[in-house]
């Protein structure tokens, strides 16, 4: 379990996150949603240990500030929003970068996990391609494969591992959005935990167990989507009057990911 208590983050003198407390349980997908600039990514970065912060952050009961970078790296992996790379790495080489710490670094496992991770993000056969020649969505999936391979087993030494994903489906087409969210769910079913910053409320409703709604650096609502997704919450958080489960006026087509089959 990841626990943050009274988390406050300031960047260049400006307080971005004000006393946020949240829990991300193993076996559950925790989604952080909220408008732009609400502190979602900053909260995620602080929990990842990447930003200096005040308050308590613990992963499986261990204070993250007392852990060495490699000790953190075998328990949690982080997918950043965007990554540009200046050098001509192949897809295989990028994924392999994830396999330098923990039990997966052993040579006999590297090739197998690399192939499995690429297959998991629907990029089997892409190992020999150059990263820079791929589309934005394909690059995002390569990065996800790298992050997955870093903590390939959802449980390590009896403790759960955590995927921290910052907008994991932002650049993906609808089929791959569903595939990646299902992948995250399977990780939870394996005993691990997932924290994802999300913009798509429908996918969040479909896949999240716990939903944290942020606004202005504070948590506005938190709980299972079925409880927190109300007309009032939408207006309070996003400043936009919307009806949950409302059907639009006739004439304008709409399509929901809920209806996808296979």
Partner 1 sequence: MSLNDAVRNPFARGSLLMRSGATAGDRTAIARLTLVVLVILSAVAIALSVATGASDASAVNVIGALLTGADDTALSMRDRIIVFDIRMPRALLGFLIGAALAMSGAVMQGLFRNPLADPGLVGISSGAALGAVLMIVLGSALPAGVMLALGAYALPFAAFVGGLLTTLLLYRIATRGGQTSVATMLLAGIAIAALAGAVTGILIYMADDKQLRDITFWGLGSLSGMTWVKLFAAGPIILIALLVVPFLSRGLNAITLGEAAAFHMGVKVQRLKYTAVVAVAGAVGASVAVSGGIGFGGIVVPHLLRIVIGPDHRYLLPAPALLGGVLMLGADMLARTLVAPAELPIGIITALAGAPFFLWVLLRDRTRNGW
Nearer to partner 1, 73 or 229 (CB): 73
Q: How far apart are CA 180 and CA 119, in angstroms?
A: 12
**DSSP count for the chain of H helices, then E strands:** 9, 12
Nearer to partner 1, 95 or 184 (CB): 95
**Residue 196, SS3 per DSSP:** strand
DSSP string, 13-77: TEEEEEEEEEEE-TT-EEEEE-STTSSHHHHHHHHHT-S--EEEEEETTEEGGGS-HHHHHTTEE
Question: Tokens 């892409």 identify what position?
Answer: 126
Closest separation between CB of residue 86 and partner 1, Å? 5
Give the HSE-up count for residue 63: Cα atoms under 13 Å, Cβ half-sphere: 6
Closest separation between CB of residue 261 and partner 1, Å? 31
Closest separation between CB of residue 257 and partner 1, Å? 29
Nearer to partner 1, 130 or 242 (CB): 130
Closest separation between CB of residue 83 and partner 1, Å? 6
Nearer to partner 1, 112 or 236 (CB): 112
Q: What is the DSSP letter of 131?
A: G
Measured between alpha carbons, how far is residue 72 from residues 65, 75, 93, 162, 197 in Å?
9, 5, 22, 10, 20
Nearer to partner 1, 85 or 155 (CB): 85
Judged by the rule CB under 8 A, the positions of this chain that interact with partner 1 are 45, 48-50, 52, 68-74, 76-78, 80, 83, 85-94, 97-98, 100-102, 111, 115, 125, 127-130, 132-133, 150
Closest separation between CB of residue 48 and partner 1, Å? 6
Closest separation between CB of residue 134 and partner 1, Å? 12
Nearer to partner 1, 150 or 204 (CB): 150
Nearer to partner 1, 132 or 182 (CB): 132
H/E segment holding residue 222: strand 218-223
Closest separation between CB of residue 78 and partner 1, Å? 4
Beta strands in 104-191 (DSSP E): 155-156, 159-160, 162-166
């Amino acid at each position: 379990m990841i626990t943050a208590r009274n988390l406050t983050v300031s960047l260049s003198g400006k307080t971005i996150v004000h006393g946020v407390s949240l829990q991300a349980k193993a076996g559950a997908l925790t989604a952080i949603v909220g408008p732009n600039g609400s502190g979602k990514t900053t909260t995620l970065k602080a929990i990842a240990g990447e930003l200096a912060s005040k308050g308590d952050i613990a992963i499986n009961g261990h204070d993250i500030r007392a852990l060495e970078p490699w000790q953190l790296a075998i328990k949690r992996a982080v997918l950043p929003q965007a990554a540009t790379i200046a050098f001509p790495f192949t897809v295989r080489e990028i994924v392999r970068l994830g396999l330098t710490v923990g039990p997966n670094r052993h040579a006999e496992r590297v090739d197998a996990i690399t192939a499995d991770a690429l297959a998991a993000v629907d990029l089997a056969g892409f190992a020999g391609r150059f990263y820079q020649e791929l589309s934005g969505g394909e690059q995002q999936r390569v990065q996800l494969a790298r992050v997955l391979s870093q903590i390939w087993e959802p449980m390590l030494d009896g403790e759960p591992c955590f995927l921290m994903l910052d907008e994991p489906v932002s650049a993906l087409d609808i089929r791959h959005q569903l595939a990646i969210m299902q992948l995250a769910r399977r990780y939870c079913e394996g005993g691990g935990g997932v924290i994802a910053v999300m913009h798509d409320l429908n996918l969040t409703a479909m896949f999240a167990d716990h939903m944290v709604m942020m606004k202005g650096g504070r948590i506005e609502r938190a709980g299972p989507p079925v409880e927190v997704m109300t007309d009032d919450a939408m207006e309070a958080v996003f400043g936009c009057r919307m009806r949950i489960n409302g059907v639009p006026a006739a004439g304008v087509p709409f399509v929901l990911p809920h209806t996808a089959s296979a």
